Amino acid sequence: ASSGIGTETARVLALRGVHVFMAVRNVDAGKNVKDAIIKDNPTAKVDVMELDLTSKSSVRKFASDYKSLNLPLNIL
């Protein structure tokens, strides 16, 4: 979600009031996208979490971290 269609999807979902969790390999790039979304929509709820789909340990950590938030997962 730090570039391309992922960025646009995150932006549009946030604009529609969705609490967006951006799963990104490059956290710094993800934070830049988050900042841009919030600049355009100050009430947007956007979080950035690291996820590298080529790494099982990264996937496990992401899943564990997200699960610990006790939030619903409505769109994947």
Give this prediction's pTM: 0.86
pLDDT tens digits for range 41-66: 999 999 999 999 999 999 999 999 99
Average pLDDT value for residue range 21-33: 96
Residue 27 pLDDT exceeds 80: yes
Residue 75 pLDDT exceeds 90: no
At 49, which amino acid appears?
A: M
Half-sphere exposure of 27 (CA within 13 A, CB side): 7
Residue 37 pLDDT exceeds 90: yes
